[in-house]
Each structure stands twice: as C-alpha cells, then as structure tokens.
Chains A and B, each alone.
Chain A
Amino acid sequence: MTDISQLALSILTAVPLFGAVMVMVLNPGCRHYSKRWSLGFSLVATFGALLICYGFEPGKEGFQFEEEYLWLKNPVVYYHLGVDGISIVFLLLTALIIPFSIALSKSPDSNPNLYFSLLLLLQCGLTGTFTALNFFHWFLFWEASLIPAFFLVRLWGGRQRAATAGTFFVFTMVGSIAMLVSFLALYFALGTFEFNELAEFGRQGLLTEAISQHVEIAGLSANKLSVLVFSGVFLGVAVKIPLVPFHSWLPDTYTQAPTPVTIVLTGVMSKMGVYGMIRLLLPIFPGQIRILQDVLLGLAVLTIVYGAFAALQQTDLKKMLAYSSINHLGYCALGIFASVTVVGTEVHWITEKASALNGVVLQCFSHGITASALFFMVWILESRKGAGRKLGGFSGLRSKAPVFCGLCGVAAFASLGLPGLSSFVGEFLIFKGAFSLAPTAALLSIPGLLVTAVFLLRFFQITFCGPCPAESNHFADLNSKEILTAVPLMALIVILGVFPDILIRLINPKAIEIIAHLAP
C-alpha cells in the first residue's frame, strides 16, 4: 500500500496518458467505442483524484503524496510531485470537468479516436501541471496541455478555426517563452528549479540581489532587473488567465472551439493561470508584486469591469460567456494581488489575506463548474436544431422546457453571485479581504458585479420568458441522459453554496501557510 501511495500522483497523471494511447490505437471503424473508452479512462482518473482527496489530511503542513527523484544532474532537476490544500482543489476540478466534457461531446465525424485521445492528453497535462513542484516538468506539462488544446480547436472548431487556433497558439506561446526565459534567469541566479527553494529566496528577499549578481541585461539596476524577471513570469500566467490587455485570443478561441472543448478551456485551462499565480508569483515574487501593486490591481479592476461591460452587448451567447469568464477570473487576480499589498503580520491582516486567498481558490472551483454549466446550456441550445446560439434566437422556452429552464436559471444565478449558490462564497471572501487590503480597487470592481447581473438576467429572460414563437414549439426538454450529465455540476453548485466548508477546510490551512510565509 505504501508503495502505491508513493506513486499515487504519477499514476494519476499516467492514467489519462495511457488512456489516450489506448483510445488512439482503437479500430477507427467503431467510433462509438472511443467515447466510451475515453470516458471510462477519465472516470478512472476522477476516481483516483477522489481517492487522493480521501487520503489527504487537511491542515498538515507542506505537501502530501510527495515524490522526489533526482532526474538530471546538470541542470539540477528533480522530478518532484506533491499536492497541498490548494492544488488538490484544482486537481478535483480537472477530474470533474474533463469527464463532463467527454460525456457531452458528440463523436465527431472525422477521426473520433484522435478527438477523444486529445481530450485525455489534455487531462494528463493539466494533472501534471497541478501536481508538479519543480519548474522543469511543471513547464513541460504546462506546454503539453497547450498542444492538444490547439489541435482540438484547429481540427474540430468553427468556421474560422485556422486563424483562431493560430492566434491562440501564438499568444500563449509568447507568454510561455517569456516565462521560460525568466525561469532560466532564476536558475542562473539561484541554481534551482524547485518551487520550495525559490519561494524561500523570495521570502527572505534575496531574490533581487542574487539576480543582479548573476544576470546582467543592459545595465539595469537590481530592482529593475528583478521586476523584469517577474514580468516574464507574469506575462506567462496573465495570458493564460487572461488579464485584460492580454485577452485578445480568448473570445474567438472560446467561440470557435467546439463547446465541450470550450468547457475545458474555461473550466480548467483558465485556472492554470490562477494556479500559476498562486504557486509561482505569490511565493517567489512578493516584493516585485508590491513594487508593481498599483499597476497589477489596476489590471485586475480593468479585467473585472471591462470584461463585464464587453459581455453586456454581445449577441453571440458563447462570446458573452467568454467575456463573462474574463470578468470572473478578474476577481481571482484582484484577490491574489490584494493579499500581498499590506505588509503586516498581525492576526487580523493574516485573516484578511487568507480570506482573499481562500476566496480565490473557491472562486476558481466554482467558476469552473458554473461556467461549464452555462456553456453546457448553450451547447443544448446549439444542438437543438434551429436558431443557433444568437441572443434572441430563442424566446419563451420556459413553457416548452421547464427542466432546462430551471437548471439554466440555477447556473445563471450562481454565476451572478446569488447567495446560497457556490460563486457567492468565493466572491464574498475575495471582497471581504480586498476591502480591508485594497479598498479602492475593491470599490472600483463593484460595478462588475452589477453588469454581470444585467447580462445574465437578460440572457435568461430573453431566452426563457415572453411569448413562445411557433418555431420553438418543438423544442425538446432535456432528456434523461442530458439531465444525468448536468446533475453533478448542479448539485455541486448548490452544495458548495450551502456547505463551502467541504473545500474551505482543505484550502484554509494552506492559505494561512502561504500568507505566513509571505510576511517579510
């Protein structure tokens, strides 16, 4: 038993990879089997993630299920895996969303084997990213998850898939390269790729000095140099989330990608950026964040408000939800940057910072499920023949499809932050922290909440209320298979709204640990 548990995370990462290979070599003739097999493999991984969650002891300091082997001697690279209270939440989210996406995918006409195995590869990449504790293979997984996503958009996307996939790839690639260069600079300066050790340097404030000793670019001063290195890493995660000036790839990519893939993109891949912020930016570069805090908080506010307003007048539902995703992840950025602003070790400050950080992780999880649920609703509209996914293409569906309307209502109200549903807790905790730590930024973000409510209510009312036109008369309500697919997400939305402690008790000890380590 001990032997297995020492390899638990590697196995968890390998299962979808193995599955991807197995699905790839299936006989291309039996297209129905590829969906079933891939769903099976991803559910096995889900089961594994749940087992790890079951074996996880909340409140224990440091990492659990750790694996550490020397991999390369020069450069010094460890194969180092582990989960803590924060990464386990992301792991669970991955394990939840990928099977959901596979379950609602329709087998594509061309090459279903490849489609499903790419989804499994994506799961492998995401799992690897959320468990890696060494930059070297963390980055490998980070990049590896990009490739299946690119091909999924490129091969099965909408009409402009070629241009969109290209933009998507170029943007994320540029960010990644910037990040890689920064980490190489860190390696030259500090001689390690280990997150723990880098964080230790960051905590003691040795980073700036070490970088200036080993790296020289155009005669920049030590501070500027460290900010430059920080900016590279920041660019990498900011493109992934994305924060507003770096978001141009997102609306088209989300719109052009097949909706099940959009669900993975928004549900999990956007969270990679937030995870990167928590794992890399926050512990390693607290000093640099403080130097740039006004700019960074400004970007977070811009992301929140601009994202919401840009969603307001969209007529393509997928585009509207895409901008809404930008807006929701803006709150995460706000929480993370706010948690660094005030320098203080009093219990009161630690509580407020931990509150923001708890809120960020919770918001990630709950945005993952609510956004997936909303895209699922759009997917249903799309897959029923008729008006496509234009706002106003449907109306008065409430009488034709009461179950669909009810579930969609739950998802929409969850997304606009109604108390009692999951998103409220995350947003509340972020704002609770932010109002003490960065009151101006928090105040400026409030309009975002209002705008979100406006466009989601409009979507809901235009689609479901009003008189029902004749062409919608044959709109079928959700069938039992679709209900079964949606129920886990819906149940989680309600359960987490009422009992957020299920996740908070995992996150909070780790949040305190991170915050306590930040304090200079």
Chain B
Amino acid sequence: MEPFFIVKNLWLIPGLPIGAALVITFMGSKRKSAAYGLSVACLALSAVLSFWAFSVVSGHEGISQNVDGSAEIHEDEAEADAGNVFRQTHNFTWISIGFEKIEFGWVLDPLTAVMIAMVSFVALLIFIYSGEYMKQDPRFTRFFAFLSLFTGSMLGVVISNSFLLFFIFWELVGLSSFLLIGFWYHKPSAVAASQKAFLVTRIGDFGLLIGMILLTSSAGNFLFYDEGKGCLETQALLDLLGPAAIGGLTIAGLISLLVFFGAMSKSGQVPFHVWLPDAMEGPTPVSALIHAATMVAAGVFLVARLFPLFDLDPTFVSGVSPSLSVVTWVGAITAFYAACVAVAQTDIKRILAYSTVSQLGYMMMALGVGGVAAGMFHLITHAFFKALLFLGAGSVIHGSHDEQDIRKMGGLRTLMPKTFQVYAIGMLALTGFPFLFSGFWSKEEILTTALHWPASKIPFLLGLCGAFLTAFYMSRQMIYVFHGKNRQQSGSGSIHESPGSMVIPMAVLAAFAVGLSVIGTPIWPWFEGFITGHPVPFRIGELFHLSHLALMVGSTALVFGGYFLAWKIYGSAQSLGENHPDRLSSYQPWLFGFLNRQCHVDELYQKIFVKPFFEIGQFCRTVEEKWNHSLTSIVSAVTLMISWCCRWVDDWLINPGFDYICDRSRRVAGRLSVLQNGQIQNYLRVGGLAIAFLMVIYVLGGMI
C-alpha cells in the first residue's frame, strides 16, 4: 500500500523546529520578537502536522478492524497485534557499509502518533509561557534556539524507524538538555548540574549503544519495521531466542537489559536518578518541558517501542521475561523511593522533580508487568499535569521574586488565585483524586495491571504505598505554599499574579489534566484500544467489576488518608516558617534528615565512583610524568654514552692514526713540494717526460 502523504513527510515535524533553531542561532541576540515568533510558528505548524498524523492513525483504526475480526486470531496474540496496528514507514539509505545498508526512516503508528501529538502540543504551550517568563533574560533568543532544538530532537526520537536515527536524536536530546540546564552558565551550580546530567545519561547510553549494535548486527537491519525484515519483527526476534548468552539469559534478554540502561539513565530510574533533581537548576519552563513532560519520558517510550524485544521469552508468557521483571522491579523501587525522598524536600521544584522520578517509576512498572497501554496512558496524562505543576511552580517563583523555598512562601491562595486554582487541579490529578482527574484513571490502570502480574505482588504494594506518599507530600507542598499567611521577609505586598500569557497555557493544560480521563476509563478504554489496535466498545459494567471496584475503593482510601494525614500534621500548624523545624523532622529527626539528603546517594557516588575515577586519572598522569621523564633521561643518557664512545674512538684510535697519516703526508708533501718550484720550464720538462713515457707505453704495448 502506498504510504500516506503525511507519512512520507513526517520528517517535517522535527525538521521545522530544528530549522527554526538553526535560523535563530544565526540571527543575533537583538531580534527577540522575531526569534520568539519564528520558533512558535514553526512549532505550531509541526503541532498541526502532528494532529493530522494522529487523525490519520485514529481514523484508520476501523478499517483494519474489518480485516481481522475472527476468533482464531486470539490464539496467537502477537500475530493479532501485528495485524491490527496501523503502521506505515518511509525508509531510505543513509550509508552503505560492506554489503549492508544502514537505513534511516520514520514510522507512523499509534505509539508515534500519540507521542508527537503530546510533545508538540505541550511544547507549544510551554513556548508561549516562556515568552513571558524569559522576557527579561539577555539571552532570550539563545533560549528559544535551544528550546526549539530540543523539541525537534524529541520529535525526532519518537518518529524514528531506524535504531541509529533514534540514537542520534536521543543524544541530541541529551545535548539540548545539557545546554538548557546550564543555561544560566554564570551559576556554578547550574554548570555542575548540566555536567552531571550529561555524564550520567551518557553512561546509560553506552548500554543503549552496545544493545543497539548487538541487535542490529544480529538482524542485519537498522530499521525497526521493514516489511517483515525489521529488527523488531517476528523473524529477527525469533533468531534472538537461540543460544543463551551470559548467566542463562537469552541474547534477547541481554540486549534488552543493555537497552534498558539507556532508558534508566534518561528516565531517572534508580540508581541513575541522581541527575534529575539537580537538573532543576535550569529555567522553570525547561524543567516543565524537558525534565517533567517529554525528555525524561523518552526512556519509557524506548521500552514501549522495543517492547516486542523486552517481552521475548522462551516461555512466551507475556510480562514475565527476565528483562521485563527487571523493568518492573526497577520501576516499583523507583516509584516508592522517590516518593519517600519527596516527603522531606523543601525546594518547590525539587519536590516536583522527585515526584517526576516517582511517576516515571510507575510508568516503567506498568510496562514491566506488560501493560504498554497503561504505561503510555500514564505518560501522556502525567505530561499534562506535571507540565502544569511545573508551570504553576514557575508562576509562583516568578510572582514571589525567585523564591523557591516552600518554607518562605504561604498564603499564595489569595495572592495568586488563578495560579492556585490551576495548581490545585494539577495536584489533584497527580495524586489521583477519584473519578474527575486523568491521573486517577491512569494510576488505577497501572495498579490493576500490576495486581495481575503473576510473578510477585510486591511491586503492586510498593505502588500503593507510593500513591499514599504522593498524596501526602503534594498536600504538604500545597499547604506550605498556598495556605496560611505569607512568610516572605520582604512582605507580601509585591507578590503578584502572573500575566495572561502565562496563565492561559496553564489553564489549557489544566483542562487536559481533567479532560483526558474521558479516553482512559475502564468504561471506554479508547486509549488502550488505540495503542494495542483492538478497539474496545463502551461497557459500563466494567467499572463495577469486583476487582476494579475493590482496588478503586482501596487506593482512594489511601489517597484520602494521605490528604488527611498531611492536613493533620501541617494544616493546623500556626508557624511553618523557615525558623521552625518541619513537623515531621521533630517527630523523626534522623529519618527526615536522611530523606532530606536523598539518602546520601550523592555522597556515596562521589566516594565510590567519582573519586576513584579521578584518582585513576591522577595516577596515569603521575606515571606519564615519571615514565616520560625517565625515558627521556634514558634516551639522552644512551645517546650521550654512544657519542662519548664515538668521541673516545675518534680521539684515541682514529684521530691518532689520521693525524699520523696527515703528518706523514705533510712531510712527504714537504719534500715533494721542492719539485713544485714554480718554474715553467721545469713543468714543461715534466710534461715532455710524461708524454714521452706514454708514447713508449703506447708503441711498445701495441707491439706486444
């Protein structure tokens, strides 16, 4: 089938923002409005194209449903998946190596469609917001160049049909994150954070690189989907099941674990999470777009994209392959751990950062237990409400003059009423307030899937605890920031509500934080049908299924427990100020301090990785200097010795002999010189004699 026009031109979606970034780079720093206009216009255009692509995919669903509807399909689910999902690609050769081609290309399938729609739309809102937020910054144009570069690369990641192209964009995303975290480069903390982010993610990327090389070498194809020959298609995957590699893993297991390293580092999963909270040094819109909504979700997207590989197991039971078990456990531990740490933070952005890490853990857990649709749905809903929360935090910070410590805020409910309203919506969505908010449904779906995981129930329980903690720390933050009286030293007079161009994007995000629930309820799980390619009917009875209902009631009770506990501890407190210790810390000073310092992970890493690393460097340097120095000395000593020997030989053997010969020849010459007395007659005589002699030889010789 001839691919759709939009599939062939899918490259325009990342191409437009990247083009804008290039143009802005060469435009000069004075033309602020031109830079702003250009980047927003290009992104708006790619958002339109993204929605077009999305509508193509969702419109096509019905048609392919006609093709496979029979019962026998369900016997082999993998086959049915492949048959139902709309997927079109456009590929071309990048370079030819040996007898193989390294191909690039893009793919349009449900996964791509929902990601491009989400990324371009959320990014567009954040671009509009940033225009106001960064207004005073002298490097305004540079900011939009970097932001456009990021958005383009991120869109490139999601449309890539070639693993190599995917990797290239993946690294470019890392680069733009580096540039934007360190955007305020005169702040040493921002510089350090950007370096940390780049290096930690790069460590994981080596795993991804090796995994990619192994996978594509074995398949002989760099494309994910290539009419049956791609490296994610059945034929290539079955080849990977063959011999065991290391420790009883199949090659598929080994490759997927290597790839998962990349996903872990990008998505801030334990133990690679350390860079993400520090990344909050960047401007707040950056935190919203990159370190909450889109880039950090790229790891989740990677696992979802390569899910056929992760799911590959000789036993053919979905969700229990060794690599997926690892994904589940890492996700569950991350979800719980980060929620714990978030409880004891005092920086408004750091709380949100840990909350992001925790939510990414939920997504990973969902994928690990086999719920691609659940994980992706949470990715989408989280993108909206977490972007909303960060923008809200930005608005708070902006309004209260760059104050980030929640202990110095308070009472903003009346001072910034609009921000308060949208922030509350975001908070309720994140904590999973029942029924009304999208976050509730996506979280429920994850917990349901985790409950049915055959291997263990512990991840599910960790998820439940995480839900409780989330409700608790978000309520704590809300109370600190918006409740009570303002505690800022400079007084509350100058605190102002943010202007419309900042509030409107937040309002739109808030609308989506609520509205997205429509497509993900158990009554009508349209999203799940969209991703898996099995359209689902509207079924009201699903909601009253006993297991669903019990879980819903249970988790809701936990969430309300979290709200209540936070209110009990902080709500009644008269003084929450900086000088008064946190209520929790007076109950459990050691535990609070431990969590506040992020369980000392940073210090631990410093000790066991960073320090030895530089010590090796120092060691090599010392060796080099010593070795070089001694070697140079040896070389020069040897050279000197040789030349000394030569000189000795020269002086005592050759020279005396030579001198002797010279001496002798001089003396002989002296005697001979008598002959050369300058008298021409003599010379003529000698000449005559010689001629005569030669004549004699000539004649006599002839005779003989």
Contacts and interface: CB of A to CB of B under 8 A. Distances in A.
Interface of A: 163, 166-167, 170-171, 248, 251-252, 306, 309-314, 323, 347-348, 350-355, 358, 396, 398-399, 406, 413, 418-420, 424-425, 428-429, 431-432, 435-436, 443, 446, 449-451, 453-454, 457-458, 461, 464-468, 500-501, 504-505, 508, 511-512, 515
A248 B168 CA distance: 36
B98 A350 contact: yes
B191 A461 contact: yes
A-B complex: 8 closest residue pairs judged by Cβ atoms: A351-B98, A312-B617, A354-B98, A419-B168, A465-B185, A313-B617, A310-B620, A309-B620
A465 B98 contact: no
B272 to A, nearest CB: 14
Contacts of A453: 198-199, 202
B202 A309 contact: no
Contact of B199 (A310, A413, A419, A450): A450
Given A436-B217, A461-B195, A504-B97, A446 B632 contact: no
A465 B631 contact: no
Given A419-B167, A466-B188, A508-B97, A251 B628 contact: yes
16 contacts: A309-B619, A310-B624, A313-B617, A313-B621, A314-B621, A351-B100, A419-B167, A424-B168, A424-B171, A432-B216, A435-B214, A453-B202, A454-B199, A501-B94, A501-B95, A512-B98
Interface string B68-99: 00000000000000000000000000111111
A352 B213 CA distance: 11
B98 A508 contact: yes
Given A252-B628, A306-B620, A461-B191, 8 more contacts: A171-B635, A351-B99, A424-B171, A446-B210, A457-B195, A466-B185, A466-B186, A508-B95
A457 B25 CA distance: 21
Interface centre among A170, A171, A353 (most CB of B within 10 A): A170
B632 A167 contact: yes
B376 to A, nearest CB: 26
A378 to B, nearest CB: 18
B213 A431 contact: yes
A230 B617 CA distance: 33
A352 B171 contact: no
Contacts of A353: 98
Given A454-B199, A465-B186, A449 B97 contact: no
B681 to A, nearest CB: 49
B217 A251 contact: no
Contacts of A323: 624
A97 to B, nearest CB: 24
A399 B29 CA distance: 12
B636 interface: yes
B191 A163 contact: no
B95 to A, nearest CB: 5
B56 to A, nearest CB: 28
Interface in B86-125: 94-100
B202 A358 contact: no
B595 to A, nearest CB: 30
Contacts, number: 152
A163 B636 contact: yes
A130 B619 CA distance: 38
Contact of B206 (A306, A419, A450): A450
A437 to B, nearest CB: 10
Interface in B178-214: 182, 185-186, 188, 191, 194-195, 198-199, 202-203, 206, 209-210, 213-214
A406 to B, nearest CB: 8
Contacts of B618: 312-313
Contacts of A505: 95-96
B616 interface: yes
B635 A167 contact: yes
B186 A170 contact: no
Nearest to B185: A465
Contacts of B308: none
Contacts of B168: 419-420, 424
Contacts of B198: 453, 457
A505 to B, nearest CB: 7
B632 A432 contact: no
A252 B632 contact: yes
A351 B97 contact: yes
B186 A396 contact: yes
A309 B622 CA distance: 11
A444 to B, nearest CB: 12
Given A310-B621, A465-B186, A449 B206 contact: yes
B104 to A, nearest CB: 11
Contacts of A314: 621
B175 interface: yes
Nearest to B190: A465
B627 interface: yes
Interface in B6-57: 25
Nearest to A431: B213
Nearest to B610: A454
A413 B95 CA distance: 22
A450 B95 CA distance: 26
Contacts of B206: 446, 449-450
A406 B25 CA distance: 10
Most buried by B among A314, A351, A465: A465
Interface string B210-224: 100110110010000
B110 to A, nearest CB: 27
Contacts of B164: 428
B185 to A, nearest CB: 4
Contacts of A166: 635-636, 639
A427 to B, nearest CB: 10
Nearest to A310: B620
Contacts of A425: 95
Nearest to A245: B627
B99 A347 contact: yes
B693 interface: no
Nearest to B98: A351
